[in-house]
């Protein structure tokens, strides 16, 4: 027999508990536990409540790799929602496994949680994890295939030979389409903000990546500005020089993600279509009915963001290196380069936009810029 202690924590906001029946199943490398009911009392879990249970299995489950949570209504006609913070499991050998949840459990479908390990703490210095984040991190939209080394980033075969295998060269890898480029040119020349009287710093780096034969995206070279005369950092450099260069790339990626990918292309762009839907489409129109559920909180959250986050003196102005002024300028520079292909990658297949310079030139996204700068112009 093997016994496991399971500790379940509910969120600390009012009305987050549940009256429904809740159960848990532990899945290990050597098998899984029977489905065990955690509670059916009223309510089973209340806000900011931490409850401990014991699960008994016929034999040890090995290393716990998965936890399955399920909430089932006691009555078919009535169910509620439960917000689970996290679940902790302790084995008889006193090995602790942590399973972060931090989400609503609304229906009877099982919710499977993986263990939240200290993966980033252990691997953040490694080059393969650095490359992994460009496809699996916060901002996987910027990476581009590199067909030719740009003149502003003069990386040579001699520089990267130690990072490539002896059987290949940089030019061969370019021809095989295994070289990729991260280019943060939009940050070049922007004046950083001032926080607490101290001037901040912004880099506009270029980062060359190689898809290795093992399937890892590995950094080959980093340059922290757009000037060809800037030093190029390599994996063969002293450890902390290379780590610091990678850190500056991650910092620039944060700025691009927050300002352009997140705020501009998600929040503010969605507001343009929300306003157009509300102003131009009658409520009986099928397109209105299709779009309106997706705009439910758009105007509300954007109003709060303009008031608290991206306003002059707001959180973004105080907490980031770009600050409010650079934030506004970088959004304007980004939207200047928008065209049809930026919004609908499938358009060229049904409309040859490349052959219509007039379409690409004359369509100006003035409504988008108006949404971006509306609050700023109102305050003047």
Each residue of 319-368: pLDDT tens digit? 888 877 777 777 766 666 666 566 555 444 334 444 334 434 433 344 44
State whether 111 and 18 are in the same domain. yes
Tell me, yes or no, whether 87 and 34 share the same domain.
yes
The backbone torsions φ and ψ at residue 107, rounded to the nearest 5 degrees and listed phi first, read -125, -170
Q: Do 91 and 141 belong to one domain?
A: no
In a domain? residue 12: yes
Tokens in use for 122? 């252990």
Task: Give the ranges where 115-225 is alpha helix by DSSP (H).
Answer: 119-123, 127-136, 157-160, 170-175
Write out the residue range of the structural domain in which residue 236 sits: 121-257
Q: Is 205 exposed, middle or buried (0-12, 13-18, 19+ CB in 10 A)?
A: buried
Residues 203 and 232 in one domain: yes
Q: What is the 8-class DSSP label of residue 309?
A: I
368 contact partners, CB below 8 Å, separation of at least 6: 268, 269, 272, 335, 338
342 occurs within a structural domain = yes
**Position 377 in a domain:** no
Q: In whole angstroms, what separates CA 103 from the centre of its chain?
A: 17
Residues 167 and 80 in one domain: no
Q: Report the chain's C-alpha Rg in angstroms.
A: 26
Measured distance CA(49)–CA(235) in Å, rounded = 49
**Is 91 in contact with 123 (CB distance < 8 Å)?**
no
Matching residue, tokens 């716990």: 64
- pLDDT of res. 134: 94
Question: Which run of H or of E encompasses 123?
Answer: helix 119-123
Question: Between helices 127-136 and 239-256, what is the axis angle to 10°?
Answer: 10
Within a domain: 168: yes
The CATH number of whichever domain residue 10 belongs to comes to 2.60.60.20
**103 and 216 inside one domain:** no
The segments of the chain whose pLDDT lies below 70 read 13-19, 39-48, 74-79, 332-380
Rounded CA-CA distance 42/21 in Å is 10
Residues 111 and 33 in one domain: yes
Contact 22, 44 (CB under 8 A): yes
- Same-domain status, 125 and 184: yes
Edge to edge, the sheet with strand 82-90 lists 50-57, 2-10, 82-90, 96-105
> Which one of 57, 91, 117 terminates a domain?
117
Considering the domain boundaries, does residue 299 fall inside one? yes
- Do 217 and 324 fall into the same domain? no
* pLDDT score, position 20: 74
């Amino acid at each position: 027999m093997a016994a496991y202690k399971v500790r379940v924590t509910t969120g600390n906001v009012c009305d987050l508990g549940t009256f429904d029946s809740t159960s848990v199943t532990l899945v290990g490398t050597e098998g899984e536990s029977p489905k065990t009911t955690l509670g059916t009392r009223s309510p089973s879990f209340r806000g900011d409540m931490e409850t401990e249970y014991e699960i008994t299995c016929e034999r040890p489950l090995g290393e716990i790799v998965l936890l399955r949570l399920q909430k089932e209504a006691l009555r078919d006609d009535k169910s509620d929602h439960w917000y689970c913070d996290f679940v902790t499991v302790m084995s008889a050998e006193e090995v602790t496994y942590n399973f972060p949840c931090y989400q609503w459990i609304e229906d009877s479908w099982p919710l499977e949680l993986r263990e939240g390990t200290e993966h980033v703490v252990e691997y953040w210095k490694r080059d393969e994890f650095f490359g992994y984040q460009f496809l699996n991190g916060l901002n996987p939209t910027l990476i581009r295939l590199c067909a030719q080394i740009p003149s502003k980033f003069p990386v040579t075969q001699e520089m990267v030979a130690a990072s490539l295998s002896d059987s290949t060269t940089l030019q061969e890898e370019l021809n095989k389409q295994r070289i990729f480029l991260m280019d943060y040119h939009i940050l070049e020349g922007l004046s950083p903000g001032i926080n607490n009287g101290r001037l901040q710093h912004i880099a506009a780096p270029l980062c060359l990546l190689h898809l290795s034969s093992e399937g890892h995206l590995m950094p080959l070279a980093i340059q922290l500005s757009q000037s060809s005369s800037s030093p190029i950092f390599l994996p063969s450099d002293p450890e902390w020089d290379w780590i610091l260069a990678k850190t500056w790339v991650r910092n620039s990626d944060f700025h691009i993600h927050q300002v352009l990918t997140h705020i501009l292309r998600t929040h503010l762009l969605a507001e343009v279509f929300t306003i157009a839907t509300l102003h131009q489409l009658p409520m009986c129109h099928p397109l209105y009915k299709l779009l309106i559920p997706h705009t439910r909180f758009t105007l509300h959250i954007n109003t709060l963001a303009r008031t608290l986050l991206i306003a002059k003196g707001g959180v973004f102005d105080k907490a980031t290196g770009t600050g409010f002024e650079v934030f506004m300028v970088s959004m304007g520079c980004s939207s200047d380069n928008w065209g049809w292909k930026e919004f609908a990658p499938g358009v060229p297949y049904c409309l040859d936009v490349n052959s219509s310079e007039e379409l690409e030139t004359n369509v100006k996204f003035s409504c988008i810029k108006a949404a971006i700068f509306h609050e700023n112009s109102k305050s003047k």
